[in-house]
């Protein structure tokens, strides 16, 4: 529900900072400005202009801080309401006192995400865009930022709008026919309906498939370095991170603890885990390391299976190959700077192999690309519109929308009545509406906006 009162909150992070901002939104924003802000000279605040002045206590006009104020008149503001921003000195107490002054001047403390919720309810952004703002705030890499920005700008909403338009067209054709049930649907119209619904099914399916990428883009991937001792796992970790963090040694099995590093491949966060030499051993500490590594094997999204190109394959390598069955992995042949002894025919034939040298760095770039392309397709990387589904809410809704169209197809081919066909199309349209927020129930909105911080 939307109560048209005036809300206020601290918009900057709590703690020490250069400046702190208190944001106020609602019909009384300008009244509150009059009560807590004294600019130099006469007259009120003009919209979208920055004023220097004194922020004062509404009760006795005593000075709280000096700072800047900007009033953004509706609808040209974040919430499409009148918005006042008071910029004061940073620091916990100062900002808190300025907020307090606004509350005593008549504002109510906002709830989490309430500013963004108002932007949504006032039609400035749709729900997909509102949700992208959370992704935007939480972005840690360029790639997730690019996708979040694109969604915020409305590319996903626009795509959904197009699909809904096509579905509405198909629905209108069916409904027109329902008005004249005595007439048969002519073949041309039938074909048109089928192709419109089919096109929508395809587009929605593609969006649904993009979730696999979207999740990777948002959360990154974990990559496990696996291989028998001394094949060069720590050296590869170093080569990938360009930091001498893991201890490189000639003694097999010195990497006893599992070491992790986060690297950035074209903006994708990749967590590299150096397993402690997966192998059978009687050494107890070693055993502990192996247990952890095997656990990690299950958790990793991708395994880099390292073998030493300067030595022949042995039973330890082959044991590992067995443990890898069913996992996504890349075979990495290391030490290619040395004379090669390895018989590659003994390696798993179905997996791609990358030749590298952790020592002189050859092949490392190809390995980075291979890691990237095993998760993010070229199409996604080079797509200009950066559309990918990143939220499980969207995925669940798309599954419903696609299911309804699959049902439609079955009904259509079995010659079902227009009424039945219309139900499926409306169901798919309703799902799209839930995604963009046209028909999203209030309790779902509560959950979405409560994940924002107060002041956003």
Q: Can you give the binding site for ligand GDP, defined by CB under 6 A? A: 227, 229-235, 248-250, 255, 277, 334-335, 337-338, 357-359
Work out how close the CB of 272 gets to ligand GDP at its nearest, in angstroms, rounded to a whole number.
12
Nearest to 381 by CA among 155, 162, 201, 142: 142
H helices present in 310-456, as ranges: 315-323, 364-373, 378-382, 392-413, 418-436, 442-450
Q: Which of 102, 108, 129 is nearest to 117 (CA)?
A: 129
In angstroms, give the least distance from the CB of 264 to ligand GDP. Answer: 22
CB of 284 to ligand GDP, least distance (A): 19
Q: Which residue shows structure tokens 């509405």?
A: 168
- Using DSSP, state whether 354 is helix, strand or coil: strand
Nearer to ligand GDP, 232 or 418 (CB): 232
Long-range contacts of the stretch 72-78 (C-beta < 8 A, 24+): 72/47, 72/48, 73/30, 73/47, 73/48, 75/122, 75/124, 76/47, 76/48, 77/25, 78/25, 78/115, 78/116, 78/119, 78/124
Written as six digits, the tokens of 202 are 């395809």
Collapsed DSSP state (helix, strand, coil) of residue 397: helix
Max Cα distance, the chain (Å): 87
**Considering the complex, what minimum distance in angstroms separates the CB of residue 351 from ligand GDP?**
19
β-bridge partners, 302 = 223
Closest CA to 240 of 375, 334, 376, 367: 367
**Structure tokens of 153?**
């700008």
Q: Which is nearer to ligand GDP, 251 or 349 (CB)?
A: 251
Is residue 355 classed as helix, strand or coil in its secondary structure? strand
Q: Which residue is nearest to ligand GDP (CB)?
A: 232
Nearer to ligand GDP, 24 or 231 (CB): 231
Give the residue with the Cβ less far from ligand GDP, 164 or 226.
Answer: 226
CB distance 204 to 402 below 8 Å: yes
For ligand GDP, give the closer residue by CB, 193 or 306.
306
Structure tokens at 64: 């709280």
User: What DSSP state is assigned to residue 74?
Assistant: T
Give the N- to C-terminal CA distance of the chain in Å, as an integer: 18
Closest to ligand GDP by CB, 342 vs 405, is 342
Q: Which tokens go with 109?
A: 């403390």
How many degrees, rounded to 5, is the angle at CA 122 between CA 118 and CA 128?
75
State which residue, 207 or 231, has the beta carbon closest to ligand GDP.
Answer: 231
Q: How far is the CB of 70 from ligand GDP (least distance, A)?
A: 57
- Nearest CA among 128, 149, 125, 154 for reference residue 139: 149
Shortest CB 291 distance to ligand GDP, Å: 17
Cis preceding-peptide flag for 289 (omega within 30 of 0) = no
Q: Report, in Å, the least distance between residue 221 CB and ligand GDP.
A: 21
The nearer residue to ligand GDP, 129 or 238, going by C-beta atoms, is 238
The tokens describing 162, both together, are 């197009």
Q: Which is nearer to ligand GDP, 86 or 231 (CB)?
A: 231
Nearer to ligand GDP, 87 or 335 (CB): 335
User: Closest separation between CB of residue 453 and ligand GDP, Å?
Assistant: 42
Nearer to ligand GDP, 258 or 346 (CB): 258
Question: Which value, to the nearest 10 degrees, does the dihedral of the CA atoms of residues 278, 373, 267, 226 take?
Answer: 0
CB of 450 to ligand GDP, least distance (A): 46
Least spacing, CB of residue 129 vs ligand GDP, in Å: 47
């Amino acid at each position: 529900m939307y109560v048209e009162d005036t809300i206020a909150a601290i918009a900057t992070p709590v703690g020490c900072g250069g400046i702190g901002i208190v944001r106020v939104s609602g019909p009384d924003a300008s009244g509150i400005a009059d009560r807590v802000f004294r600019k130099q000279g006469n007259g009120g605040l003009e919209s979208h202009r920055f004023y220097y002045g004194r922020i004062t206590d509404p009760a006795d006009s005593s000075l709280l801080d000096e700072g800047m104020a900007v009033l953004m008149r509706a609808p040209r503001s974040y919430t499409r309401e009148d918005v006042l921003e008071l910029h004061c000195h940073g620091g916990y107490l100062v900002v808190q006192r300025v907020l307090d002054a606004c509350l005593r001047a008549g504002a109510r403390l906002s709830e989490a995400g309430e500013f963004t919720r108002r932007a949504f309810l006032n039609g400035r952004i749709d729900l997909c865009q509102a949700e992208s703002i959370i992704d935007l705030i939480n972005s840690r890499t360029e790639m997730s930022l690019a996708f979040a920005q694109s969604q915020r700008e409305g590319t996903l909403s626009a795509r959904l709008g197009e699909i809904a338009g096509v579905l509405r067209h198909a629905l209108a054709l069916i409904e027109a026919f329902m008005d004249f049930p005595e007439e048969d649907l002519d073949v041309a119209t039938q074909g048109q309906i089928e192709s419109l619904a089919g096109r929508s099914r395809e587009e929605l399916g593609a969006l649904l498939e993009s979730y696999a990428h979207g999740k990777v883009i948002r959360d990154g991937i974990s990559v496990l370095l696996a291989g028998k001792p001394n094949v060069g796992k720590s050296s590869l970790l170093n080569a990938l991170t360009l930091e001498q963090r893991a201890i490189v040694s000639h003694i097999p099995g010195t990497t006893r603890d599992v070491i992790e590093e986060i690297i950035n491949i074209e903006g994708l966060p990749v967590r590299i885990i150096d397993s402690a030499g997966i192998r059978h051993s009687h050494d107890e500490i070693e055993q502990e390391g192996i247990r952890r590594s095997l656990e990690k094997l299950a958790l990793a999204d991708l395994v880099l299976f390292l073998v030493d190109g300067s030595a022949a394959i042995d039973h330890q390598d082959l044991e590992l190959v067995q443990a890898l069955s069913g996992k996504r992995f890349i075979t990495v042949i290391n030490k290619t700077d040395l004379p090669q002894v390895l018989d590659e025919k003994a390696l798993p034939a179905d997996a791609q192999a990358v030749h590298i040298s952790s020592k002189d760095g050859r092949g490392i770039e190809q390995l980075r690309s291979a890691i990237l392309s095993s998760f993010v397709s070229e199409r996604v990387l080079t797509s200009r519109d950066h559309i990918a589904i990143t939220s499980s809410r969207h995925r669940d809704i798309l599954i419903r929308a696609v299911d309804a169209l699959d049902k439609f197809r079955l009904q259509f081919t079995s010659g079902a009545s227009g009424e039945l066909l219309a139900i499926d199309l409306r169901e798919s349209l309703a799902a799209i509406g839930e995604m963009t927020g046209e028909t999203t129930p209030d309790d779902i909105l509560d959950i979405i906006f409560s994940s924002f911080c107060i002041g956003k």
